[in-house]
Amino acid sequence: MSHNSAAFYTILSLYFLITTTKKSRPFGAVISALSLIMLFQTRPLTFLVIVSTFSLYFLYLLIWRKTNKKNVISFFLALLVGGLLVALLNIKLYGSLWNTPYLKTVMPRLLLGTSKQGSYTYLAGLLDAISYLWTLRLVYFPGLPLLFSTLPLLAFLRKQHYELAIFSVFNIVLIALAYTIFDDPWGLFYGPRFWYEMLPFLTLLIAIALYNLKVYFANVSCYRLFVALLISFIVARSIFGWSFGKTPLWQNLIYFTPSKIEELKGFNYVDNRLIALSQKMNIHHVVIFVRDCGGNWWCYGSVFPQNTPSLDGNIVWARDLNVRNIELKKLYPDRDFYLADYNTNSIESYIFR
Distance CA 244, CA 262 (A): 9
What sign does the CA torsion over 14, 20, 25, 26 have? Answer: positive
Same domain, 252 and 130: yes
Where residue 187 falls (left for φ over 0; alpha for ψ -120 to 50; beta otherwise) is left
What pLDDT was estimated at residue 215? Answer: 83
- Phi and psi at residue 287, in whole multiples of 5°? -115, 130
3-state secondary structure of 333: coil
Q: Give the residue, 159 or 345, on which the prediction is more confident.
A: 345
Same domain, 257 and 133: yes
What sign does the CA torsion over 212, 218, 224, 226 have? Answer: negative
Where a domain ends, among 108, 137, 152? 108
Residue 147 scores a pLDDT above 60: yes
Where a domain ends, among 265, 291, 311? 265
Same domain, 279 and 251: no
Same domain, 334 and 305: yes
Same domain, 181 and 235: yes
pLDDT above 70 as % of the chain: 84
- pLDDT band of 300, cuts 50, 70, 90: very high
What pLDDT was estimated at residue 311? Answer: 94
Distance CA 95, CA 350 (A): 36
Q: For 64-73, what is the mean pLDDT?
A: 79
What pLDDT was estimated at residue 325? Answer: 95
Q: What is the domain extent for residue 234?
A: 110-265
3-state secondary structure of 275: helix
Q: In the chain, what is the straight-line distance between the N-terminal and C-terminal CA atoms, in Å?
A: 36
Q: For 204-227, what is the mean pLDDT?
A: 82
The neighbouring-strand residues paired with 348 are 339
Scored b (16 or more CB within 10 A) or e, 260-276 reads beeeeeeeeebeebbbe
What pLDDT was estimated at residue 186? Answer: 46
Give which of 318, 349, 344, 346 is closest to 331, Cα–Cα: 318
- Tens of pLDDT, residue by residue over 309-333, are 999 999 999 999 999 999 999 999 9
Same domain, 12 and 51: yes
- Tens of pLDDT, residue by residue over 33-52, are 999 999 888 887 788 889 99
What pLDDT was estimated at residue 96? Answer: 67
Total number of domains constituting the chain: 3
Strand pairing category for 336-341 and 315-319: unpaired
What pLDDT was estimated at residue 287? Answer: 97
Cβ atoms within 10 A of the Cβ of 220, count? 11
Q: For 156-168, what is the mean pLDDT?
A: 89
Q: Give every CB contact of residue 252 below 8 A, 6+ residues apart in sequence.
A: none
Same domain, 150 and 233: yes
- Tens of pLDDT, residue by residue over 274-289, are 999 999 999 999 999 9
- pLDDT band of 11, cuts 50, 70, 90: very high
Distance CA 46, CA 58 (A): 18
Mean pLDDT (the chain, rounded): 82
Taking each helix axis from N to C end, the angle separating 2-19 and 193-217, rounded to the nearest 10 degrees, works out to 40
What pLDDT was estimated at residue 108? Answer: 38
Residue 111 scores a pLDDT above 90: no
Distance CA 169, CA 232 (A): 28
What pLDDT was estimated at residue 97? Answer: 63
3-state secondary structure of 11: helix
Cβ atoms within 10 A of the Cβ of 97, count? 10
Highest mean pLDDT among 159-173, 208-222, 248-262: 159-173
The neighbouring-strand residues paired with 349 are 338
Q: For 60-65, what is the mean pLDDT?
A: 80
Is 231 exposed, middle or buried (CB count within 10 Å of its CB: 0-12, 13-18, 19+)? exposed
Same domain, 195 and 128: yes
What is the reported pTM? 0.73
Q: For 189-204, what is the mean pLDDT?
A: 77
Same domain, 216 and 133: yes
Same domain, 171 and 256: yes
